[in-house]
A and B are shown apart, each in its own frame.
Chain A
Amino acid sequence: MGKEVVQRQQDTIGFMDFPRDVTGQTRETAYDAYNTLARAKVQAIGLNFEASDYLNSTGIGLVISLVEDAISAGRTVYAYGLSSHYRKLFSMVGLTERIILVSNETEMIDKCRES
C-alpha cells in the first residue's frame, strides 16, 4: 500500500482512496487527487478510508480542508471505511455535520443515484 491518495472517477462521482496513514504528509497527493476530480467536474466525492488505520490530527485537518473546498464548490461529500473511533473523531471536529457517512462504496453510489 502506497502513501499516496489515488483518485478514481465513475460518471459524475469521484473517489479518493486514502492510504494507510493519513497525516500531514498526505496533503500534497490528496490535493492533487482532489484537483483532478474538480477539473473533471464531479458532483460528489467519496472519501475512501477502507485502507486507512491511522489518521492523526493533521490528517483530519486535511480532510476538513478538502471537505470545505468540496462543499464550497457545491459538491456532496461522502466518507466510508472509517472505524467507530475515527467516526467519533470526525464527529468531534464537526465533520459529520458536513459529510454523509456511509458504510461502503456501494451504499454511497446508491445514495448518489437516489439524490
Chain B
Amino acid sequence: MADDTAGNIQPKRVELRLPSIIGYEKVARSAAEAIAQQLQIDEGRTEDLKTAVAEAVMNAIEHGNDQEPATSVTVIMSVMSDQLEVRVADVGRHPIPDPLPTPTSDRGWGLFFIQHLVDEVEISQLPNGGNQVKMVLRFVEEERVIKGHLVVAEARSLAIELAVERPRAILPAVEPVRAIQPAQPQLRAILPADSR
C-alpha cells in the first residue's frame, strides 16, 4: 500500500467514497490531516487543507449530490513529488455556479475558503456530468524531503471505502483523474490563492 523506503509508510493515493450525509465531510477532513501529518506539512497549512477538503465535501454532499442517499462523494488524495492533490467529485445534481457566487453575510463561504486556503483550485465538470473540485497544496522544500527521501509519484493506491451501502451509484475511481487535465475545455476555473 505504500512506500516504506524512508522507514515510514507513505500512501501515495488514498481514495474515499463517502455517503452523501452531512457529517461525513469530517471523515475526509481526518484523512487529509493524517496524510498531511505523514508528509510533515506544518500545522497551519494542515489546518488550511482540512478546512478546504471539508468544505469541498460539504458542497458535494449538499449541492452536488443534493443529499441523495443513493449517491456518494469520491475523494482522491494523491501525493506527488512536489504537491498534494485532492480531488472531490460528486454526481452533479446541481452544477457549481459559474461564476462562483459572492458570499452573502451568512452563506456561500465554503468556496471562498477553498479558494483562499490552498495553493490552486480547479473546478470542472466530469464527462458523467458530475462536479469536480481539485485542490493543490504545493510542498515547501522542507516538506518535500521526508527523512532524506524524496516522495515519488509512482505508487500503488490505497482504497478505503467507508460506509458505502449502495455501491452501484459510486463514481468510477479513475474517471476524475482523466477528466482534469489542465488543457481540457471543460476546465473553467483556475483560482490561485491570494492570501497565503
Q: List residues of chain A with CB under 8 Å of any chain B CB.
A: 23-25, 54, 56-58, 60-62, 64-65, 68, 83-85, 89, 92-93
Contact = CB atoms under 8 A, between A and B. Distances in A.
Contacts of B55: 56-57
B195 A61 contact: no
A64 B107 CA distance: 10
A99 to B, nearest CB: 14
A58 B25 CA distance: 13
10 contacts: A56-B55, A57-B55, A57-B110, A58-B107, A61-B105, A61-B109, A62-B106, A64-B105, A85-B48, A89-B113
Contacts of A68: 105
Contacts of A23: 22
B44 A85 contact: yes
Contacts of B10: none
A85 B110 contact: no
Interface string B38-78: 00000010011001001100100000000000000000000
A81 to B, nearest CB: 16
Among A57, A89, A93, the one with the most B-chain Cβ atoms within 10 Å of its Cβ is A57
Contact of B195 (A54, A85, A92): A92
Contacts of A83: 47
Given A61-B105, A85-B51, A54 B113 contact: no
A65 B106 contact: yes
Interface of B: 22, 25-26, 29, 44, 47-48, 51, 54-55, 58, 103, 105-110, 112-113, 116, 195
A84 B45 CA distance: 12
Contact of B51 (A24, A58, A61, A89): A89
Contact of A56 (B44, B54, B105): B54
A59 to B, nearest CB: 10
Among B26, B58, B106, the one with the most A-chain Cβ atoms within 10 Å of its Cβ is B106
A57 to B, nearest CB: 4
B109 A57 contact: yes
Contacts of A54: 26, 29, 54
Contact of B116 (A24, A58, A92): A92
Given A61-B106, A84-B44, A93-B109, A56 B58 contact: yes
Contacts of A56: 25, 51, 54-55, 58, 110
A57 B44 contact: no
Contacts of B112: 57, 92-93
